[in-house]
Structure 1
Amino acid sequence: MKKTTLLILLVVFVVSCNKNISKNNNKKQFLTNYVDPFIGTGGHGHTYPGATVPFGMLQVTPVNGISSWDWCSGYHYSDSIAVGFSHLALSGTGIGDLADVLIMPINKEVDISKMPKSRDSLTYKSSYSHNNENASPGYYRVFLDDCNVNVELTTSKRTAYHKYTFKKNDQQSVVIDLGFAINWDKATSSSLQIEDDYTITGHRFSKGWAKNQKVFFVAKFSKPIIDYQLAADNNKVSSQKTVGAKTAAQIFFDNVENSELKVKVALSSVSIKNAKENLEEGFEFESVKAKASASWEDVLSKISIETKTDSLKTIFYTAMYHAHVAPVTFSDKNGEYRKENDTIETATNFTAYSTLSLWDTFRAEHPLLTLTSPDKVSDIINSMLSYYQTKKILPVWTLYANETNTMTGYHSIPVIAEAYLKGITGFDAEKAYEAMKTTMMQDERGLSHYKKYGYIPYNLLDESVTITLEYAYDDWCVAQMAKALGKTDDYKFFLKRSKAYTHLFDAETGFMRGKFEDGKSWNEPFDPKYSNHREHTDYTEGNAWQHSWFTPHAVEDLAKLHGGNEIFTQRLEQLFTESSEITGSNVSADISGLIGQYAHGNEPSHHIAFMFNHANKPWRTQYWSRYILDTQYNTTPNGLSGNEDCGQMSAWYVLSSIGLYPMNPASTQYEIGSPIFESSSINLPNGKTFIIKAENVSKENIYIQSATLNNEPFNETNISHETILKGGTLQFFMGNTPNKKWGTAKNSNN
């Protein structure tokens, strides 16, 4: 009996120890281990798998060399050919550019004087297998089959590091090709110079989506250069420097000492001198890799989640990763950066940023940053105000400091208003307001029509419905900023103009429709499922079903226009249950991730599920937001239902999965949806923590039964940014059937 008792005690002790060990291991589990940079590299996600740091200047990543929509980042998971590794890339955009300063390690001599127009005739390309490829935050590795070279990449904020391991006794060489381009990009001028035995410098000017892109670079090698070949515009060059529209170099190194070659590269928009200043000392690849990983660990830990489902952790932390890739650092170490007009500015007391995909990111990406990185928000706003100083209009979509004028509206405006109203400082509020007001009072991009008619007539400008609705929201944001600054007359003026949506609502069909300049006639014939991509259309990258709901500042009023909450919510339900057929011969490829006619793969749909909260049916917001979370994201390369768009697609997931969404960002309120994690903690920059708990949550238990905020009953369908900043605990009790009384005390307008 004593022996049996001792045996039982020993088993209990061992099991207890194992549990404790397991707990300790979980505590030490790095969040970066849950990030999969290949998510979004397939399908229409358009992400890249290469190495970068949070908001870093460089994105050192593989380039497949194909010019096609799904290769907008330079890489697509369906491919298995590499032409090199570039230092600038776009994360999830719908237009392709960049892939600048292409470097490729090879083990043979090639003719670089021939400048091919496609990758098929590239002499230095190589096949690879995804089995020999991996990536983690701040690190990328691939084995090049044709060259027998193992490639590893990492980066700091302004310096990229390459480590090439060649096969023993193989020739060690790299090709630098400044002429090769993908998608919209085209080199207009470039140069290469062998400065010394270890250094090559040059520039690459190009015209593409960014019409005036100037990149200067320096590359240093861990081994001395023993030979080289230079070429320009299909001719070999015998000197140490070559200049032309398209230049290239092949550089050779000694293969006797060891099989490893390291390269470090820095860029600048200003000069080679600045690129050299941006270049860090040493070739300590592993320490740089560790620092890059640590920088990501810090970002990922800003929101911690608890769930028993590892796949959900992978989706969540990969989304956090993607949401902090862009915007990207643009100013050099000394603060200098180039503007579109070639003037050189100096960012004083802030970092200048570029790659501002504002049509997308104002919706959830920027609101997320107000929680995780408010210091970056003020820097981004200062970057936009710097742009305003030159153009006297706030930016629309900036790429390498160039205005692309891509997409509709002026959504710098909600970003600024949201930041100011959330108490974020570090920028001149009066100057910001001046920029907002001046932008909305000028005449470009349809604003002259908008001011004259109160809406944009379809016969005067394409995409008139989308543009009108977005200007109405921008006006509302200007009004809120004016009110906060005590500018009463401006507040009244812009608030009145923010009702422009009322001109385009057709009560008979229930859709926002194109209206003629006579103020009476609709655009006929009308088919709410019809899509015509970016021309001869009333809607941007979508149809009437997807664009008729963009009144985030006036949901209750929109419900009244429909005839009350019941009709409004019936039509919202129909959006999600209607057949997914899209009509037309030139359907926008951006219409993806369809649930009925709801298109999660493109941003105009992103707020719609949360509108039920404002029409007395919050349980439908809970149902549909959870349905979107469950069906539109997964852990495969095809894990995003549409373009990542510089963080927006992922930011939607990050916030919605913890149960919050900024349907109207400048309201400073977050709508409450359906949290999918047992617990989420927002670790705020002010040192406080806001915890969201979901008791009994499961795949079936998606409905909020009741809630408490700091142990007090909570019956609201939204929560303020101010409340979150105070820290505390919001606790939901979940069940598998709707509680139709919770959150319905207000908003009845039937």
Structure 2
Amino acid sequence: MTGDPAAPTLATFAAMGVRNFDAFGSFESLVHQATVQNTDAENDGGCPGQCTGQRPALDTYLAKHYAPQDACHCWGGTAETLENSLADFALAQWGTRLGANVNSLKDRGGWWKNTFDPAVGYQRARKADGTWQPGFTPSTDVGFAQGSSATYTWMVPQDVSRLASLMNGAAVQRLDAFFHDENGNWAVKGGSALRYDPTNEPGLHTPWLYNGLGSAWKTQATTREIVDTVYGVGPAGLPGNDDLGTLSAWYVFAAIGLFPQTPGRAELLVGSPLFPKVDVRRSNGVHLTVEAPATSDANQYVQSLSLDGRDRAESWLPESFITRGGRIVVQMGAAPTNWGTAPIDY
């Protein structure tokens, strides 16, 4: 929603094997943008929705290691911190592939921790003097952009294991509460600042986080619930503003049963394939096949998976699958299993 979205976008393109653009020139430009404050960085024009300055108040961000809510010139300081951390992580991944020195960017990829308040267990707006914004509740949007702390706290796909450790082992239970109401019923259609919002970008990756927490079957159940109840046909088939195809793309990934794991990389998380067979033929000649012959409304859960004829216990696919091609066969069933239950150290 804010941050530097070109960085994770192009870094992911590069990781997935896209070659028809100036990778070195783009990388150098984005690193310059991330390290040298531009002339509009202190400009509040267009805020809060379309702030003029890319990497706003960059010098302050680099000095504090977070974007202060009261000195950011951005839509929300905490949202800016989270998205910049993700962008810098992606740039570091890209730079490593290009042979660049990315040590500082790697470090900056972890600055999301500087706006995580362990006292409340959530991401929280922080002032320039280091104190926390008063009046916190998980539903607050102070410090965030079209979203709440309850949603943005999960925006750390680059370091799920560290985020889980800060939640003191309760990450799975907290995700459960994010997707269900107080009575245990599904709550994935939006409308509550404390629950999953399928209509906007900040939390769209969260159903897939279960894979990194050793509960892959919960990703399968949650994505199927969203596919079945949130999306439909006709003019109202999308749950919200498609934003350049974002919501449509989410559906396509969920229907295939795969989802990008981390911006700047090309591993794919495995969900619950909706079709018996999907063939993807990339323009560079790479051929991907996903087969799930027994999938149905009842058979939503992965029982086992093979990649190019070899059994695979992990709930994710290696980068080679999307860069060189391959075939996965997913055996589906009606009951959850312990397939893919080992936590992933991203």
1:670 shift after superposition: 1.2
2:173 paired with 1:570? yes
1:368-403 residue CA offsets vs partner (Å, 9 max, x unmatched): xxxxxxxxxxxxxxxxxxxxxxxxxxxxxxxxxxxx
Name the counterpart of 2:99. Answer: 486
Conserved? CA contact 1:593–1:642, under 8 Å: no
Do the aligned residues in 2 keep the contact of 1:623 with 1:702 (CA within 8 Å)?
yes
CA distance in 1: counterparts of 2:84 and 2:107, whole angstroms: 12
Which one of 108, 112, 132 corresponds to residue 522 of structure 1? Answer: 132
Question: Equivalent residues in 2 for 1:221-260 (5 A)?
Answer: none
Give 1:65-76 correspondences, 5 Å limit.
Answer: none
One of 454, 457, 462 as aligned partner of 2:65: 454
User: Is the CA contact (8 Å cut-off) linking 2:265 and 2:319 kept in structure 1?
Assistant: no
Match of 1:747? 344
Q: Classify the secondary structure of the residue corresponding to 1:431.
A: helix
Task: Write out aligned runs for 1:49-68 (5 A).
Answer: none
Once the 2 structures are TM-superposed, how far is the Cα of residue 731 of structure 1 from its aligned partner? 0.8
Q: Which residue of 315, 324, 346 corresponds with 1:726?
A: 324
5+ long unaligned stretches in structure 1: 1-406, 532-536, 581-590
Tell me the alpha carbon deviations over residues 211-236 of structure 1, each in whole angstroms, 9 at most, x when there is no partner.
xxxxxxxxxxxxxxxxxxxxxxxxxx
Distance in 1 between residues matched to 2:191 and 2:163, nearest whole Å: 23
Give 1:505 shift: 1.1
**Contact kept? 1:693, 1:732, Cα under 8 Å:** yes
Other-structure match for 1:637: 235
Q: 1:137 corresponds to which residue?
A: none
Letter in 1 for 2:143: D
Q: Which structure 2 residues correspond to residues 20-419 of structure 1 after superposition, within 5 A?
A: 407-419=1-13
CA distance in 2, matches of 1:702, 1:558: 28
- Check the 8 A contact 1:705/1:738 in 2, yes or no: yes
Query: Displaced runs of 4+ in structure 1, greater than 6 A?
Result: none
Select between 468-477 and 708-717 the one with higher mean Cα deviation.
Answer: 708-717
**Aligned AA (1:450):** Y
CA–CA separation in structure 1 for the residues paired with 2:180 and 2:57: 34
Cα distance in 2 for residues equivalent to 1:601 and 1:610: 16
- How far apart are residue 600 of structure 1 and its match? 0.6
Q: Structure 1 counterpart of 2:145, which letter?
A: T
**Mapped pair 1:465 → 2:78:** yes
Query: Residue 159 of structure 2 aligns with which residue?
Result: 554
In 2, the alpha carbon distance for the partners of 1:434 and 1:605 equals 29
Aligned partners of 1:639, 1:427: CA distance in 2, in Å?
34
Deviation, 1:499, is 0.9
Residue 321 of structure 2: SS of its match in structure 1?
helix
Matched residue, 1:44: none
Determine if the alignment matches structure 1 residue 541 to structure 2 residue 152.
no
1:476-515 superposed matches below 5 A: 476-488=89-101, 491-515=102-126
Q: Spell out, residue by residue over 1:556-579, the C-alpha distance to the aligned partner (whole angstroms, 9 max, x if none).
A: 111111123xx1111111111246
- Which has the higher Rg, Structure 1 or Structure 2? 1
Closer, same or farther: CA 688–463 of 1 in aligned 2, 3 Å: closer
Percent pairwise identity: 31
CA shift, 1:748, in A, is 7.6
User: Shift of residue 726 of structure 1?
Assistant: 3.3
Query: Alpha-carbon deviation of 1:627?
Result: 1.1
Say whether the 8 Å CA contact 2:138–2:150 is kept in structure 1: yes
- The 3-state SS of whatever aligns with 1:661 is strand
Could you say which structure has the greater relative contact order, defined with CA pairs below 8 angstroms and 6 or more residues apart? 2
Partner AA of 1:497 in structure 2: R
Is residue 272 of structure 2 the alignment partner of residue 674 of structure 1? yes
Distance 1:695 1:426, change over 3 A: closer
- Native 8 Å contact 1:659 1:673 kept in 2: yes
Contact 2:160 2:345 in 1 (8 A): no
Supply the AA of the counterpart residue of 1:715: A
- SS in structure 2 opposite 1:419? helix
Give the TM-score taking structure 1 as reference length: 0.41
Amino acid at match of 1:421: A
Measured on the aligned residues, the alpha-carbon RMSD in Å equals 2.1
Note the alpha carbon deviations across 1:313-365, whole angstroms, 9 max, x for none: xxxxxxxxxxxxxxxxxxxxxxxxxxxxxxxxxxxxxxxxxxxxxxxxxxxxx
8 A contact 2:155–2:202 mirrored in 1: yes
Counterpart pick for 1:608 among 206, 209, 229: 206
CA gap 1:686/1:426 in 2 versus in 1, 3 angstroms? closer
Equivalent residue, structure 1, for 2:45: none
**Bigger share in helix:** 2
Which has the larger strand fraction? 1
| Matched residue, 2:20 | 426
Mark the CA change 1:480 to 1:687 in structure 2 (over 3 Å): closer, same or farther.
closer
Look up the match of 1:112.
Answer: none
Q: TM-score, normalised by structure 2?
A: 0.87
Residue by residue over 1:183-229, the C-alpha shift from the partner in whole angstroms, topping out at 9 and shown as x without a partner, is xxxxxxxxxxxxxxxxxxxxxxxxxxxxxxxxxxxxxxxxxxxxxxx
Please report how far the alpha carbon of residue 688 of structure 1 lies from its aligned counterpart in structure 2 after TM superposition.
4.7
| AA at the equivalent of 2:108 | R
Q: 1:668 to 1:688 in 2, by over 3 A?
A: closer
**Alpha carbons 1:707, 1:730 under 8 Å: kept:** yes
User: Once the 2 structures are TM-superposed, how far is the Cα of residue 684 of structure 1 from its aligned partner?
Assistant: 2.5
Question: Is contact 1:579–1:597 with CA below 8 Å preserved after alignment?
Answer: no
Alignment coverage as a number of residue pairs: 322
